[in-house]
A and B are shown apart, each in its own frame.
Chain A
């Protein structure tokens, strides 16, 4: 097991599985089509589940994925098979809360696209290179907003 917790990607998709904003930190999906195929698989697998009150969890292609939905937005965080599920869930919650604050509670696709700059900055600061997780998601909440 890798001793440093690591996040493989963070995905923000819409209710049809299309990208709103995504960030990949690992090289498991080297091409854009590989990334899109993964996003499609994740979306299809989780689509029918109810992840609106509590974060849900699933395994796919040897990865652990935690996810949460709100309005027409689907939030995903992917980690390796051996990753501590609760750390992944903390990252997801951090991202989720940060987006909620940045969009001032109006969390839906339209608001997210209109404030895409904020979302992208948030993705950049939550995880740095996948290596050191949670680079500043705590900061985003404590510091930024």
Chain B
């Protein structure tokens, strides 16, 4: 600010590697810092020493507490000097050292003096330093000066005060909020910078007050904002207001005209901000989009890479939801494929792949082939994913796209890239039946020369599942058996399993496969030999052409029906004992995914690889708890435990929630109670349950709580009998009854006499969804076909007006309480129809699969077609009943 430091002489020798900091050493510099204590200060020398100290800090050197304190005290001496350059370095040094509260006092008076100085540069910098190191108490002392500074006629001082205000708002909001009037005045400043900072601060002060923000936006969009940065801020605030207003109003979108007018601003920064804001509007229409797309299209041919990148990145996002709106830019986009900047080229390619139509696919693929060889793996993965979704969109084009994938599969590349390609081929094989044989052969060729054990084993496993179902399974045998000769033990073992699968599934191949398997008995590795022996003995029939027993097939190759994560935890918990490990003791419930999953909505499910692992199950914990209570020990195996349901409002005297445990013939309610009053002790706590609205239930046992002290949760149980295997539903009203005793919170003494009291809890319902367990399937189509149409029930339902398709889908999912499969719970933005696949197990261990097809029409009326397949027609009907009554 003010004047720059005197620039140093350039009369040193021009050595190539010369650096003023060559051989610099912390200890020596700290010694040098003693010059700060000289009675006759040499400002230039002091400046140099501070620069050295800052250099050390900047290079990652750290000072010990003692060193920092010493330097700090020495630096404070430098306030005596009147040299402006030195003073600036002193300010910087103090900020870097971030002194502790008791040290701050030393410099406070010097800084406060500077804050009221006549020199603008002193005022501005002193404000910044003081606000950075100060605490609340000091702030009240200097508040008056800060308010003055905000409206200071020097823009640097005003900006310094405003920015400091933004920082202080985090620690001491109550003080900064008192400055509203001054900040409001600063918003009108003629200086661009002041206006920008004032607007930022004003918005932060008011951000929780919707009405105030709306007023601010309304007044400013009419006036003139000079600073482009401030204009960008205003655009962001405006979109916020639009977002919040959209839910309450209909008709013309408010402020759209303002955004549109910003597209004609003279600063590119503002134009882009407005264009991006328009594309991100909720439910944006094509008419609203057009002007924004037009300016972005102009940016595509700019000479500045940053502009091209910004534009293509935004258009890429638009293409996901409004591909048609972007097609106008396709010609400009195609010329970007050869852009020097590979990020721009990749974004252009993937945009084109999204907007392309069936006829342009072939031409596009030709261009991409040239492009693929000179980009990095991370970009290639993006391209592969885009091609996969293109192929799913135009299944007829699978041949050229599959060829492309197999070509790039043969080229050099790292693991992640190869995995992305293999995953894509697997998904195409699964979803496009015509592509199956072709794709399987490509995968076979790939494992002939694959350096990644993980991919080889995954492909072998996939071949074992899909290969036997093709028209000529025998042609895969050669590829598989080659693995037994040429690979490491892990791959050999996987190949043996795959061979056995062919033998078991294709009766005609059995004799030949047996010959091969017998050779594997001489393998050098235990696992390979063991597998071969197991299969030879179980698939059986001595290799004759006889159908393999279904039980054997199920045992060897059937799916486990148990989430792998659950079996993993169960195995970890299993302690070697006389009792063998019981697979039936593993909980089947799929745990809800942790929130981290939300980060990637709409992501395609991976083709290969294990299902995502859930957090450790709490079912174990519940089961242990319940089996430890003698009254419930003969209820049998726990079928399902619900998530806790709150029975009290938040922040009431007693917090109670309930977990519903479902058994075959019983239901157990576990009331988790917490006493939130320190002055009370509750004794003999019971829950009085009125089951008059739940006719099929009869109370059989209850377990009260002897005492419930402050803030230590306790459990009360109530058990009900119900007809076996029937999903009985009903409503229960609950009353907490207890004896209150006064407690002196300071001493902890309890009074002897108590008073009986009651506390009404909210009602509790047992619903049909409580009898359905979330159990996922790895391949829905296979599972759907293997259950067969015997007990299929199909019907259509009108769901009435809904807020959105996504809302309707999630409502039905939670109503049924089933596990969504293959990521179908995610509804693409703005889509008019959606198919959702659910799976679960009904009480009595009946597997249920559900296919939901949703459609939405103009006035948000949602219709749904529900198809259920299960192993029991009663259960299929039951699912329909749940939907019909829900």
Contact = CB atoms under 8 A, between A and B. Distances in A.
Nearest to A21: B58
A115 to B, nearest CB: 7
Contact of B304 (A22, A54, A133): A54
A52 B807 CA distance: 51
B240 A3 contact: yes
A131 B273 contact: no
Interface residues of B, number: 62
B229 A5 contact: yes
A4 B163 CA distance: 12
B343 A54 contact: no
A133 B2 CA distance: 20
Interface stretch (B16-24, B653-661, B848-856): B16-24
A114 B240 CA distance: 47
B341 A56 contact: yes
Given A117-B47, A144-B4, A59 B233 contact: no
Interface in A1-50: 1, 3-5, 19, 21-22, 32, 35-36, 49-50
A131 B163 contact: yes
A141 B124 CA distance: 17
A115 B19 CA distance: 11
A36 B159 contact: no
A36 B204 CA distance: 33
A131 B55 CA distance: 24
A133 B229 contact: yes
A86 B268 contact: yes
B197 A132 contact: yes
B59 A121 contact: no
Given A84-B276, A87-B229, A57 B306 contact: yes
Interface stretch (B87-95, B490-498, B780-788): B87-95
Interface string A93-106: 00000000010100
Given A128-B128, A143-B156, A89 B54 contact: no
Nearest to A84: B273
B731 interface: no
A13 B202 CA distance: 37
A53 B95 CA distance: 35
A102 B8 CA distance: 11
Given A121-B92, A136-B193, A85 B306 contact: yes
B167 interface: yes
Interface string B678-711: 0000000000000000000000000000000000
Given A86-B306, A86-B310, A131-B167, A116 B92 contact: no
Interface in A73-113: 84-90, 102, 104, 110, 113
Interface string B334-376: 0000001101000000000000000000000000000000000
A115 B233 contact: no
Contact of A56 (B51, B167, B305): B305
A129 B167 contact: yes
Contact of A110 (B19, B307, B310): B19
Nearest to A86: B269
B269 A22 contact: no
A132 B197 CA distance: 7
A32 B60 CA distance: 6
Nearest to B47: A117
B236 interface: yes
Contacts of B2: 143-144
A115 B89 CA distance: 13
B403 to A, nearest CB: 30
A113 B439 CA distance: 59
Contacts of B163: 128-129, 131-132, 135
Interface in B1-36: 1-5, 7-8, 10, 18-21
B200 interface: yes
Contacts of B233: 3-5
Contacts of B310: 57, 84-86
**By CB atoms of chain A within 10 A, which of B2, B58, B155, B156 has the most?**
B58
B417 interface: no
A51 to B, nearest CB: 8
A123 B50 CA distance: 16
A92 B168 CA distance: 27
A135 B203 contact: no
Given A86-B272, A87-B229, A114-B8, A144 B60 contact: no
Interface string B303-318: 1111101100100000
A116 B1 contact: no
Interface in B117-160: 128, 155-156, 159
A69 to B, nearest CB: 13
Contacts of B59: 19
Contacts of B166: 4, 131-132
A15 B240 CA distance: 43
A120 B58 contact: yes
B237 interface: yes
B307 A86 contact: yes
Interface string B204-242: 100100000000000000000000010011001100100
Contacts of A86: 268-269, 272-273, 306-307, 310
Nearest to A55: B306
B562 interface: no
B54 A3 contact: no
Contacts of B95: 124
Contacts of B309: 57, 85
Interface string B34-49: 0000000000000100
A1 B236 contact: yes
A55 B159 CA distance: 28
A36 B92 contact: no
A57 B305 CA distance: 7
A83 B233 CA distance: 12
A86 to B, nearest CB: 4
B97 interface: no
A70 interface: no
| CB-based closest 6 A-B pairs | A32-B60, A85-B310, A86-B269, A117-B51, A89-B306, A132-B163
26 contacts: A4-B166, A5-B233, A19-B59, A22-B58, A35-B60, A54-B303, A56-B305, A57-B310, A84-B232, A84-B276, A85-B309, A89-B306, A90-B269, A114-B8, A116-B55, A117-B54, A118-B7, A120-B54, A121-B5, A131-B167, A133-B229, A139-B1, A139-B155, A139-B156, A144-B1, A144-B4
Interface of B: 1-5, 7-8, 10, 18-21, 47, 50-51, 54-55, 58-60, 88-89, 92, 95, 128, 155-156, 159, 162-163, 166-167, 192-193, 196-197, 200, 203-204, 207, 229, 232-233, 236-237, 240, 268-269, 272-273, 276, 303-307, 309-310, 313, 340-341, 343
Given A84-B232, A132-B163, 15 more contacts: A3-B203, A4-B233, A54-B305, A55-B306, A56-B306, A85-B313, A87-B232, A114-B8, A114-B20, A115-B8, A117-B47, A118-B5, A124-B92, A128-B128, A135-B159
